[in-house]
Structure 1
Amino acid sequence: MRAYSVLQGAHPFFFKGNHIGVLISHGFVGTPQSVAFLGKCIAAQGYTVYAPRLKGHGTHYKDMEAYTYHDWLNGLEDGYQLLRKHCNKIFIIGQSMGGTLALHLTSKHPSIAGVILINAAMTSIPGMDAFNSIHKPRFIEEGAPDIKDKSVFEITYAKAPIKAIHQVLGLMEDTRARLANITCPLLVFKSKEDHVVPPANSDYIMNQVQSPLKETVTLYNSYHVASMDFDKEFVAEKCCTFIKKFQMNEREIKIL
């Protein structure tokens, strides 16, 4: 297997803070750079934050062909285990496919304190669905990142392998079967105008998880990559409020 260098700015980041950990996953063909603003805002509140770089991402689009969604899940699992060494309570945040991975991980770890999703993929990605049973061409054009703020630059790939697209669709199918196992608090952001993942994906998640405490927040001034878009400050603020609210256990909340 050819070794590809990591692109400048695409490396994982870790901020050591208190005993509350926050694991953040970027999306398909993205990198930790796409969630860096969010991570820095959360870390500024004193939390320990880690955003891994998923296998095959942040290098070269040909690199993605060598990995499956199980590799991406394992990468997030490794991040979770890393945070467990430093923290006694962990939240997880996922952007797009990162949200799918976050839900899958949470279904295996009931101790996760809460999940935050940003335009998570779960039922349909129109730009990918058409390639579900197609194996050629080898790569497809990705187009520009779906960001309303045109001054923003996201590190991403211009192309995506068909093999990798099949892995995303397989991950979504696998995760749908696990949603009923999720009972922790849930905060879901969905952009009203998203040209990659239709908002109906978020609605499906809200209807299928068994979390008694769940909230949907609609974003009106951001497209798909909302963690980098015009609403990024609002998203970060809501994330911090959610974490602060649920970082305590039920007994502590009742005392308040």
Structure 2
Amino acid sequence: MAETYPVLQEAEPFYFEGNDIGILVIHGFTGSTQSMRDLGEAYAKEGYTVCGPRLKGHGTHYYEMEQTTYADWIASVEEGYQWLKERCQTIFVTGLSMGGTLTLYMAENHPDIQAIIPINAAIDIPDMAALQNERETRFLDAIGSDIKKPYVRELAYDKTPVKSVKEIVMLMEKVRNGLHKIQCPALIFVSTEDHVVPPGNSQMIFDNISSRQKRLVQLDNSYHVATLDNDKELIIEETLRFIKRS
């Protein structure tokens, strides 16, 4: 039986019941719901129903993350989606980093999703792909807290399990191969300087999805964790405008 760890403070899933428009808000790889909570609260304040699931193995300890697969992370998101489906007529999905990858996955597999808002979404990270055959190393240094704004920290693991890196590489490949299936409107945010996900990922997403209505918005004052960075308010404002129009 795998050892379990308590959920860290601020890493708990969040749920806000509101109107019949739902927003699924997905955090990133090795991170936690803390990175998405400000967005979730801002959307709830506008009256929307919001769900921020905690991805399995996240927000506890990296030993626990090491035991999970990308199928577990998908299952966590599907659970949040079902929670919204029971309450809402219309569902939007947004996510940061691997949360953006999972946002794309949901759009590929649930054509009824109204629209998506990926933020620095990951579909191709060569440095991670290069670790596919790594056998010697168990943990790598942390990838969290790539934030330009001083004194702001992301609640993320201080080690990254190599086994988990291999899982996200498989997830990215799966999602990359299915991008053409996406037809819903898409608002894609990309930080011009990102030390985790190459910014070209967002252009690749923009170019390969089949959506007629799609827009790429550059974030010039944030690094990877843009949802906690200088452009956070811009993301919130643009997203709310996009939701009202879609």
Shorter chain as denominator, the TM-score bin is over 0.9
CA contact (8 A) 1:25 1:94 kept: yes
Give the equivalent residue in structure 2 for 1:113: 114
What pairs with 1:120-135 in structure 2 (closer than 5 Å)? 120-126=121-127, 128-135=128-135
Distance 1:155 1:62 in 2: 16
Q: Does residue 140 of structure 2 align to residue 140 of structure 1?
A: yes
Secondary structure of the structure 2 residue equivalent to 1:180: helix
Q: How does 1:196-235 map to 2 (within 5 A)?
A: 196-235=196-235
Equivalence for 2:186: 186
- Per-residue CA deviation, residues 12-39 of structure 1 (Å, 9 max, x unaligned), is 1111110000001000011111001111
Identity %: 48
- Structure 2 SS opposite 1:160: strand
TM-score (norm 1): 0.94
State how far apart, in whole Å, the 2-side matches of 1:125 and 1:93 are.
24
State the 4+ residue runs in structure 1 displaced beyond 6 angstroms. Answer: none
Which residue pairs with 2:45 in the alignment?
44
Cα distance 1:141–1:123, how it changes in 2: closer, same or farther (>3 A)?
same
Question: Helix, strand or coil for the counterpart of 1:243?
Answer: helix
CA contact (8 A) 1:102 1:115 kept: yes
> In structure 2, how many angstroms separate the alpha carbons of the residues matched to 1:77 and 1:143?
25
Structure 1 Cα separation of the partners of residues 244 and 136 of structure 2:
48
Quote the residue 1:7 is aligned against. 8
Q: 1:61 to 1:210 in 2, by over 3 A?
A: same
Match for 2:84: what amino acid? L
Corresponding residue of 1:239? 239
**Cα deviation, residue 107, structure 1:** 0.8
1:251 equivalent in structure 2: none
- Distance in 1, Cα, partners of 2:135 & 2:205: 29
Equivalent in the alignment of 1:252: none
Superposition RMSD in Å: 1.0
Aligned residue pair count:
245
**1:136 Cα deviation after fit:** 2.2
Q: Name the SS of the counterpart of 1:7 in structure 2.
A: coil
Other structure's SS at 1:150 match: coil
- Structure 1 residues 173, 144: CA separation in 2 closer, same or farther (over 3 Å shift)? closer
Whether the 8 Å CA contact 1:26–1:94 is kept in 2: the answer is: yes
**Aligned counterparts of 1:38 and 1:241: Cα–Cα separation in 2:** 14
Partner of residue 249, structure 1: none
- The answer for the alignment partner of 1:67 in structure 2 is 68
Calculate the TM-score normalised by the size of structure 2. 0.97
In the TM superposition, residue 3 of structure 1 has moved relative to its aligned partner by 1.4
CA–CA separation in structure 1 for the residues paired with 2:66 and 2:49 = 32
Asked if 1 retains the 8 angstrom alpha-carbon contact of 2:53 and 2:76, the reply is: yes
CA distance in 1, matches of 2:175, 2:144: 27
Alignment match, 1:32: 33
Contact 1:125/1:196 (<8 A) preserved: no
Residues 125 and 198, structure 1, Cα contact 8 Å, conserved in 2? no
* Contiguous gaps of at least 5 residues in structure 1: 247-256
Change (3 A) 1:125 1:196: farther
- Mapped to 2, the partners of 1:125 and 1:114 lie a distance apart of 28
1:16 equivalent in structure 2: 17
Q: Which residue of 2 aligns with 1:176?
A: 176
Find out whether 1:89 has 2:96 as its counterpart: no
Query: Aligned partners of 2:181, 2:124: CA distance in 1, in Å?
Result: 17
Structure 2 equivalent of residue 101 of structure 1: 102
Change over 3 Å in CA distance of 1:47–1:101 after alignment to 2 = same
Q: CA deviation at 1:154?
A: 1.3
Q: Which residue is 1:56 aligned to?
A: 57
Structure 2 stretches of 5 or more lacking a match?
Answer: none
Aligned to 1:254: none
